Structure 1
Amino acid sequence: KLEQSTSEVKRPGETVKMSCVISGYSMTSRDISWIRQRPGRGLEWIGYMNTGNNDPTYGSSFQSRFIMTENVPSSTQYLQISSLTAEDSAVYFCARETHFSLNMLSVALLLLLAAGSSVKCEQLTQPASATVQPGQRLTISCQVSYDLGIYFTHWIRQPAGKGLEWIGYTCQGCDPVYKDSLTNKFSFTVDSSSLSVTL
């Protein structure tokens, strides 16, 4: 379980420090990522903490004002943002890395790229939206810029009014892995020649 601190209102120029309290497992057994979603925007990966070693890695856009720390005895991760601006207004999420998936707390349909416990930034392009009638089949194709035989591609969705739900992951040459409750509803295909993954 990952339990985050409550919402805060801050003025421009101030500093905010958010917490993520971890329970139900040993915090140092899995890395923790921080992600945010600004109003009307997609997800942004801030960085991740190599837990137990107080060793953070930041995304290229978050290397100056963002500081990730941890308190191992209290099983707590922290994200501090200084010199706040209006652009920092967002919903912030902490996320636990499992072996090849991310269990997140909330947000939108997205593809996340993960290789073991590392995170590598690549370009993924998918349609803005698609409309189908109840009972019909929905197909979503995602164009990627990485080697599908090396990296796993994860699918995540956000049902209306609910939090983020991990669907599963796939790669070229491996058997797809699905969330147990969604196994019979979703399927993935990979085309390495066109660098595309289809749900």
Structure 2
Amino acid sequence: MLVSSDKLSSDPMNVVDWVNMFALAVNEENAAGGRVVTAPTNGACGIVPAVLAYYDHFIEPVTPDTWIRYFLASGAIGVLYKMNASISGAEVGCQGEVGVACSMAAAGLAEIMGAAPEQVCIAAEIGMEHNLGLTCDPVAGQVQVPCIERNAIASVKAINATRMAMRRTSAPRVSLDKVIETMYETGKDMNAKYRETSRGGLAIKVQCD
């Protein structure tokens, strides 16, 4: 539909539709039992590739140097969460999966957009700050609802985080270190119903046919 519709081609928000599609495609592949890359988990696997696809389609074509820098930056941020907090929805809720992926993608995009290292960290921080408290409540225990759409939303959020980080002129009030620490503490305080057990939230409100 995106390719064939003239009306959509003139829509200034058309890029958002494409980013959504990039993320949804990866997560649908995961839901169908296909092969995906954990980034940092299968439930959040659509965000990092969707943001890179956005760059490839709407900024400039990626080169080997581009994707190496993108994955090194995003991977380094992921390692910080893995070492100092958690990337497990069962331990800290979806903030540890989709939140971390959003943070990783924002950092990677900032790097290939030419951001300074400080701006890369700011982008990563923004990507997580606005996912704090995100619950993991998969309907029927499947990585489908709300996981698939959540990847699309977080992909757009990661792009926005990068843009905000690269345009700010003041020093950030919240550091990446502090947001990682806060995410972990928030996750530990989270009721077990909202940590991948499917015993609360949407998991008990949405019935599967």
TM-score past 0.5 threshold: no
Higher strand fraction: Structure 1 or Structure 2? 1
| Structure with the greater alpha carbon radius of gyration | 1
TM-score normalised by length of structure 1: 0.29
TM-score normalised by length of structure 2: 0.28
